[in-house]
Amino acid sequence: MKKNINLLVISHSFVKRINTDVYSLLKDKYNINTTLVCPFNHIENKKKIKPNFNKDDLNVNLVFKKYTFNHLRLKIFHNLKYEINKRKITHIFLDLDVLSLQSIILLVYSLFRDLNLYYFSNENNILNEHNFMKKLIKKNLYRILYFVFKKKISRIFCYTNQIKKNLDHCGYSKKTIVVPLGYNPKIFYPSNKNNNSKLVLSYFGKISEKKGVHTLLKSLDLLKSNNWILHLDIFDIDNINYFKTIKVDLKKLKKNNKLILSKYNHDNINEAMRASHITIVPSQWNEQYGRVIQEAAACGSIVLGSNIGAIPEIIFDHDFLFEKKDIIGLAKKIDSIIINFDKYNNKFEKIRNFISQNRTISKQADIMHSYL
């Protein structure tokens, strides 16, 4: 067992308990003294998100901090120096990119302390940046930070190969390592589907244009099959104006008894995923990782995803991929699976096995621990 590790983990995402699970596992499995730093609230798309749990329910320390600036590139947590000194911190995990203000402050501070800095990076849009000047500036800023602080940057954990390729392009190949954003198999596991003649199609996630919900709804209007019903998650409506634009399609589905609207959170979404036969992820933006994909697959659902971002790293069989915004192509995929469900369900088992072997929080914890 590694000795004398006092870990400080800084993340805005700790407002949701699910994002603390891997650190509870690190504590249980490796007995690492861990303190999580969480904001009192996090503002996302003008919505204030507060912690959805009691910190006393965790087996690790959790402290709430005020912060300056809401943008993740600029967000600075207050009084981190106090926590570092008080808890004799030796290792810091920062849930931000290297190119962020909080990162730079900690890197400078680490020059005068024996601190090991680790990062969880979502930087996946350097190689695909169409603006040449933006691409050049970002790339050179990353290279300058590496030149100055390379001895203080221990590792950068990348949730996908796509993120790793972007950072390697900036000179970080000796620092980057792919680590899955793991799911908890104690929560997400399969069960027998209800004996219902209709197959359950599902969408879980934000209701927003970049998530491609309209593509899904338009594709359903083209289906030749009739024995299905859509379960649509409306817990997080990202943009009310966008929601108004898809209301016509929703009303049509509702009128034809083809739609159930529900609000799922991390306390009950697993039950909905277990009831789902086909989960659709119709994103049209550069997805950084696929938490919904692996959770739904672990619950026994087939998952169809758009061929963009990191989605094909998890859904590696083209039978379950479609091009973004391709309404007709998605409709054909759904129809094929409905008509030959058992065939495709057996074929998807290879993806489920890959997920269960490589993308659990236990796997994530083991990789993280190996680099401490």
Residue 1: what pLDDT? 44
Domain assignment present for residue 354? The answer is yes
What residues contact 265, with CB distance under 8 A and at least 6 apart? 52, 235
Q: Are both 221 and 289 inside the same structural domain?
A: yes
Do 22 and 36 contact (CB within 8 A), yes or no?
Answer: no
Domain assignment present for residue 93? The answer is yes
Domain assignment present for residue 37? The answer is yes
Q: Are both 108 and 142 inside the same structural domain?
A: yes
The SS3 of residue 16 is: coil
Give me the phi and psi of 239, to 5 degrees please.
-145, 115
CA 369-371-372 angle, 5° bins: 70
Domain assignment present for residue 16? The answer is yes
Do 286 and 128 contact (CB within 8 A), yes or no?
Answer: yes
Q: Are both 155 and 261 inside the same structural domain?
A: no
Tell me the C-alpha distance between 232 and 251, whole Å.
13
Q: Are both 174 and 254 inside the same structural domain?
A: no
Domain assignment present for residue 192? The answer is no
Domain assignment present for residue 186? The answer is no
Amino acid identity at 330: L
Tell me the whole-structure pTM to 2 decimals.
Answer: 0.93
| Residue 227 DSSP label | S
- Alpha helix positions (H), 150-278: 161-168, 213-220, 240-245, 247-255, 269-275
Q: Are both 67 and 164 inside the same structural domain?
A: yes
353-372: per-residue pLDDT in tens?
A: 999 999 999 999 999 999 99
Q: Are both 331 and 203 inside the same structural domain?
A: yes
Residue of 159, 157, 156 lying closest to 180 (CA atoms): 159
DSSP secondary structure letters along 101-158: HHHHHHHHHHTTS--EEEEEE----STT---HHHHHHHHHHHHHHHHHHTTTEEEEEE
CATH of the domain at 40: 3.40.50.2000
Q: Are both 248 and 353 inside the same structural domain?
A: yes
Residue 280: what pLDDT? 98
Residue 52: what pLDDT? 80
The two tokens of residue 150 are 């390379």
- Residue ranges in the chain modelled with pLDDT below 70: 1-3, 195-196
Q: Are both 75 and 138 inside the same structural domain?
A: yes
39-92: per-residue pLDDT in tens?
A: 999 888 778 888 888 999 999 999 999 999 999 999 999 999 999 999 999 999
Q: Are both 151 and 126 inside the same structural domain?
A: yes
Q: What domain range is 55 assigned to?
A: 6-181+361-370
Domain assignment present for residue 191? The answer is no
Residue 289: what pLDDT? 77
Q: Are both 29 and 121 inside the same structural domain?
A: yes
Tell me the C-alpha distance between 282 and 277, whole Å.
16
Q: Are both 77 and 172 inside the same structural domain?
A: yes
Q: Are both 170 and 276 inside the same structural domain?
A: no
Residue 195: what pLDDT? 65
Amino acid identity at 214: H
Query: Residue 194 — left, alpha, or beta (φ > 0 → left; ψ -120 to 50 → alpha)?
Result: beta
Domain assignment present for residue 187? The answer is no
Residue 266: what pLDDT? 80
The SS3 of residue 200 is: strand
How many independent structural domains does the chain possess? Answer: 2
CA 53-57-59 angle, 5° bins: 125
Do 40 and 14 contact (CB within 8 A), yes or no?
Answer: no
